[in-house]
Amino acid sequence: MGRRLAGSAGDRAAGPWGKALLESLGFVNVRLEPVPVKVWERVAESGKVVAPYPQPLALAALGGSVGTPKEGLEAEVVEVESLEALEVLVKASPDACRGKIVFFNRKMDRDGGMNGYGAVVPIRGRGASRAAAAGAVGVLIRSVGTDSNRLPHTGAMGYEAGVPKVPAAAVSIPDADLLSRLIARGKPVRVRFTLDCGDRPDAVSANVVGEVRGRERPDEVVVVSGHLDSWDLGTGAIDDGAGCGIAIEAARLIGASPRRPRRTVRVVLFANEENGLAGGRTYASAHEVELPRHAAAFEADSGAGASTGCSWNAGPDAAAVVAEIARLLEPLKATLVRNGGAGGADVSPLLKFGVPLFGLVQDSSAYFDFHHTANDTLDKVDRKTLDQATAAMAALVYAVADLPEALPLIPEAQRTRRRE
Catalytically annotated residues: 273
Q: Least Å distance between CB 148 and Zn ion?
A: 22
At a CB cut-off of 8 Å and minimum separation 6, what does 181 contact?
A: none
For the bound state, the minimum distance from the C-beta of residue 273 to Zn ion, rounded and expressed in Å, comes to 5
With contacts defined by CB under 5 A, name the span among 47-55, 142-150, 299-307, 391-399 that binds Zn ion: 299-307
CB of 244 to Zn ion, least distance (A): 10
Name the residue nearer to Zn ion (CB basis): 79 or 301: 301
| Least distance (Å) between residue 367 CB and Zn ion | 10
Asked whether the beta carbons of 389 and 238 are under 8 A apart, the reply is no
C-beta separation of 238 from 380 below 8 A: yes
> Which of residues 129 and 390 has its CB atom nearest to Zn ion in the complex?
390
Instruction: Calculate the alpha carbon distances from 413 to 29, 315, 346, 352, 410 in Å.
Output: 35, 11, 21, 10, 8
Stretch that binds Zn ion, among 91-99, 231-239, 312-320, 381-389 (CB under 5 A): 231-239
Q: Is the dihedral of CA 202, 19, 13, 249 positive or negative?
A: positive
Mapped onto helix, strand or coil, the DSSP state of residue 267 is strand
240 binds Zn ion (CB under 5 A): yes
Residue 194 or 364: which CB sits closer to Zn ion?
A: 364
Give the total residue count for the chain: 420
Cα 200 → chain centroid: 22
Q: Are 194 and 18 in contact (CB under 8 A)?
A: no
What is the torsional sign of CA 381, 384, 386, 387? positive
Nearer to Zn ion, 33 or 240 (CB): 240
**Per-residue contact string for residues 248-287; x = within reach of Zn ion by CB under 5 A:** ----------------------------------------
Contact 82, 123 (CB under 8 A): yes
In Å, what is the CA distance from 392 to each residue of 89, 156, 164, 300, 343? 48, 30, 48, 11, 15
Pairing between β-strand 73-80 and β-strand 101-104 as defined by DSSP bridges: parallel
- For Zn ion, which stretch binds (CB under 5 A), given 159-167, 239-247, 261-269, 377-385? 239-247
By CB under 5 A, the residues from 5 to 24 that bind Zn ion are: none
Residue 217 pairs with which residues in a beta bridge? 263
Number of residues located near Zn ion, criterion CB under 5 A:
3
> Would you call 405 exposed, middle or buried from its count of C-beta atoms within 10 A (0-12, 13-18, 19+)?
exposed
The answer to whether residue 175 forms part of the interface with Zn ion (CB under 5 A) is no
Pick the closer one to Zn ion by CB: 230 or 264. Answer: 230
- Minimal distance, residue 44 CB to Zn ion, in Å: 25
Which part of the chain contacts Zn ion (CB under 5 A), choosing from 104-112, 212-220, 236-244, 302-310? 236-244
27 or 367: CB nearest Zn ion: 367
Q: Between 68 and 282, whose beta carbon lies closer to Zn ion?
A: 282
Residue among 249, 301, 369, 376 that touches Zn ion (CB under 5 A): 301
Applying CB under 5 A, among 239, 249, 299, 402 the residue interacting with Zn ion is: 239
Residues 82-141 that bind Zn ion (CB under 5 A): none
Minimum Å gap between C-beta 239 and Zn ion is 4
Decide if 314 contacts 410 (C-beta within 8 A): yes
Min. distance of Cβ 361 from Zn ion in angstroms? Answer: 15
* 376 belongs to the binding site for Zn ion (CB under 5 A): no
> Rounded to the nearest 10 degrees, what angle do helices 117-133 and 83-92 cross at?
30
Element (H, E) at 22: helix 9-24
State which residue, 65 or 364, has the beta carbon closest to Zn ion: 364
Least distance from Zn ion to the Cβ atom of residue 130, Å: 25
Segment contacting Zn ion by CB under 5 A, of 80-88, 107-115, 234-242, 321-329: 234-242
Calculate helix-pair angle for 242-255, 9-24, nearest 10 degrees. 20
Q: Give the interface segment with Zn ion, choosing from 4-12, 138-146, 296-304, 395-403 (CB under 5 A).
A: 296-304
Residues that bind Zn ion (CB under 5 A): 239-240, 301
